[in-house]
Protein backbone atom coordinates (compact mmCIF):
# COMPACT_ATOMS: atom_id res chain seq x y z
CA UNK A 1 0.00 0.00 0.00
CA UNK A 2 2.80 2.43 0.90
CA UNK A 3 4.65 1.61 -2.34
CA UNK A 4 1.59 2.53 -4.41
CA UNK A 5 1.20 5.85 -2.58
CA UNK A 6 4.91 6.59 -3.03
CA UNK A 7 4.68 5.90 -6.78
CA UNK A 8 1.57 8.07 -7.08
CA UNK A 9 3.28 10.88 -5.19
CA UNK A 10 6.39 10.59 -7.37
CA UNK A 11 4.25 10.66 -10.54
CA UNK A 12 2.36 13.69 -9.23
CA UNK A 13 5.59 15.57 -8.43
CA UNK A 14 7.05 14.65 -11.84
CA UNK A 15 3.89 15.93 -13.58
CA UNK A 16 3.99 19.23 -11.68
CA UNK A 17 7.69 19.70 -12.50
CA UNK A 18 7.12 18.89 -16.19
CA UNK A 19 4.26 21.38 -16.43
CA UNK A 20 6.27 24.05 -14.64
CA UNK A 21 9.20 23.49 -17.03
CA UNK A 22 6.88 23.67 -20.06
CA UNK A 23 5.36 26.97 -18.92
CA UNK A 24 8.81 28.38 -18.12
CA UNK A 25 10.35 27.43 -21.48
CA UNK A 26 7.35 28.45 -23.58
CA UNK A 27 7.42 31.96 -22.12
CA UNK A 28 9.83 34.07 -24.18
CA UNK A 29 10.73 36.31 -21.27
CA UNK A 30 11.37 33.36 -18.99
CA UNK A 31 13.59 31.75 -21.62
CA UNK A 32 15.58 35.00 -21.80
CA UNK A 33 15.10 35.41 -25.55
CA UNK A 34 14.22 38.96 -26.58
CA UNK A 35 11.36 39.25 -29.06
CA UNK A 36 13.55 41.15 -31.59
CA UNK A 37 17.29 41.62 -31.93
CA UNK A 38 19.13 44.01 -34.23
CA UNK A 39 21.69 42.29 -36.46
CA UNK A 40 24.80 44.46 -36.74
CA UNK A 41 26.67 42.01 -38.99
CA UNK A 42 24.70 41.40 -42.21
CA UNK A 43 27.08 38.59 -43.17
CA UNK A 44 25.24 36.38 -40.66
CA UNK A 45 22.05 36.48 -42.74
CA UNK A 46 21.09 34.21 -45.61
CA UNK A 47 19.38 36.90 -47.67
CA UNK A 48 17.46 34.34 -49.72
CA UNK A 49 15.92 32.51 -46.77
CA UNK A 50 15.81 35.70 -44.68
CA UNK A 51 17.18 33.87 -41.66
CA UNK A 52 19.89 34.71 -39.16
CA UNK A 53 22.27 31.78 -39.58
CA UNK A 54 24.53 32.90 -36.66
CA UNK A 55 27.69 32.31 -38.71
CA UNK A 56 29.25 34.10 -41.70
CA UNK A 57 27.58 33.35 -45.03
CA UNK A 58 28.95 33.35 -48.59
CA UNK A 59 29.45 36.93 -49.85
CA UNK A 60 27.91 37.72 -53.24
CA UNK A 61 28.92 40.95 -54.98
CA UNK A 62 26.30 42.47 -57.28
CA UNK A 63 26.57 46.04 -58.60
CA UNK A 64 29.25 46.97 -56.03
CA UNK A 65 27.08 45.77 -53.12
CA UNK A 66 27.57 42.68 -50.97
CA UNK A 67 24.73 40.25 -50.30
CA UNK A 68 25.00 36.93 -48.43
CA UNK A 69 23.74 33.44 -49.13
CA UNK A 70 24.09 30.14 -47.34
CA UNK A 71 24.75 27.83 -50.31
CA UNK A 72 25.49 27.72 -54.05
CA UNK A 73 21.76 27.84 -54.83
CA UNK A 74 21.31 31.00 -52.77
CA UNK A 75 24.40 32.56 -54.37
CA UNK A 76 22.88 31.92 -57.81
CA UNK A 77 19.53 33.41 -56.80
CA UNK A 78 21.17 36.53 -55.35
CA UNK A 79 23.28 36.97 -58.47
CA UNK A 80 20.44 36.54 -60.96
CA UNK A 81 17.26 37.77 -59.28
CA UNK A 82 16.89 41.41 -58.24
CA UNK A 83 13.69 40.74 -56.28
CA UNK A 84 15.60 38.36 -53.99
CA UNK A 85 18.01 41.21 -53.16
CA UNK A 86 15.14 43.40 -51.98
CA UNK A 87 13.18 43.23 -48.77
CA UNK A 88 10.10 45.12 -47.65
CA UNK A 89 10.10 47.46 -44.68
CA UNK A 90 7.21 46.12 -42.55
CA UNK A 91 6.38 49.60 -41.25
CA UNK A 92 6.35 51.65 -44.47
CA UNK A 93 5.88 48.91 -47.05
CA UNK A 94 8.77 50.35 -49.06
CA UNK A 95 11.25 48.17 -50.95
CA UNK A 96 14.61 47.98 -49.18
CA UNK A 97 17.96 46.86 -50.59
CA UNK A 98 19.06 44.03 -48.28
CA UNK A 99 22.75 44.97 -48.68
CA UNK A 100 22.18 48.38 -47.08
CA UNK A 101 19.13 47.71 -44.91
CA UNK A 102 18.91 47.70 -41.15
CA UNK A 103 18.11 44.12 -40.13
CA UNK A 104 16.37 42.60 -37.12
CA UNK A 105 15.57 39.00 -36.32
CA UNK A 106 12.82 37.58 -34.16
CA UNK A 107 13.34 34.77 -31.66
CA UNK A 108 12.83 32.15 -34.40
CA UNK A 109 15.64 33.67 -36.51
CA UNK A 110 13.37 35.20 -39.18
CA UNK A 111 14.82 38.47 -40.49
CA UNK A 112 13.03 41.77 -41.13
CA UNK A 113 14.61 44.60 -43.16
CA UNK A 114 14.14 48.34 -42.54
CA UNK A 115 14.90 51.48 -44.49
CA UNK A 116 15.81 53.49 -41.37
CA UNK A 117 16.57 53.26 -37.67
CA UNK A 118 13.27 55.08 -37.04
CA UNK A 119 11.12 52.45 -38.74
CA UNK A 120 13.10 49.68 -37.02
CA UNK A 121 12.52 51.31 -33.62
CA UNK A 122 8.82 51.76 -34.34
CA UNK A 123 8.52 48.08 -35.32
CA UNK A 124 10.42 47.01 -32.19
CA UNK A 125 8.19 49.16 -30.00
CA UNK A 126 5.01 47.71 -31.53
CA UNK A 127 6.38 44.19 -31.17
CA UNK A 128 7.33 44.76 -27.53
CA UNK A 129 3.85 46.07 -26.77
CA UNK A 130 2.31 42.98 -28.38
CA UNK A 131 4.68 40.74 -26.37
CA UNK A 132 3.59 42.42 -23.11
CA UNK A 133 -0.10 42.12 -24.05
CA UNK A 134 0.29 38.38 -24.64
| pLDDT tens sequence across 31-70 | 455 689 999 999 999 999 999 999 999 999 999 999 999 9
**Per-residue model confidence (pLDDT) at position 25:** 43
Q: Which residues of the chain have pLDDT under 50?
A: 21-31
Domain residues of the chain, as ranges?
A: 1-32, 34-133
The 3-state secondary structure of 94-131, one letter per residue: CEEECCCCEEEEECCCEEEEECCHHHHHHHHHHHHHHH
Can you name the residues that pair with 133 across neighbouring β-strands?
Answer: none
CA-to-CA dists, residue 30 to 22, 37, 74, 118, angstroms:
11, 16, 35, 28
- Bridge-based pairing state of the strands 86-88 and 95-97: antiparallel
pTM value? Answer: 0.72
Strand ranges (DSSP E) for 1-134?
36-39, 45-46, 51-52, 58-62, 65-69, 86-88, 95-97, 102-106, 111-114
CA distance 116 to 7: 60
Amino acid sequence: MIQIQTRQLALFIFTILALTFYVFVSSSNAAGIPPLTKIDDLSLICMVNDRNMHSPQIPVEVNDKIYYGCCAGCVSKLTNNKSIREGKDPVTGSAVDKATAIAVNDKSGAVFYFESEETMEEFMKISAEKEIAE
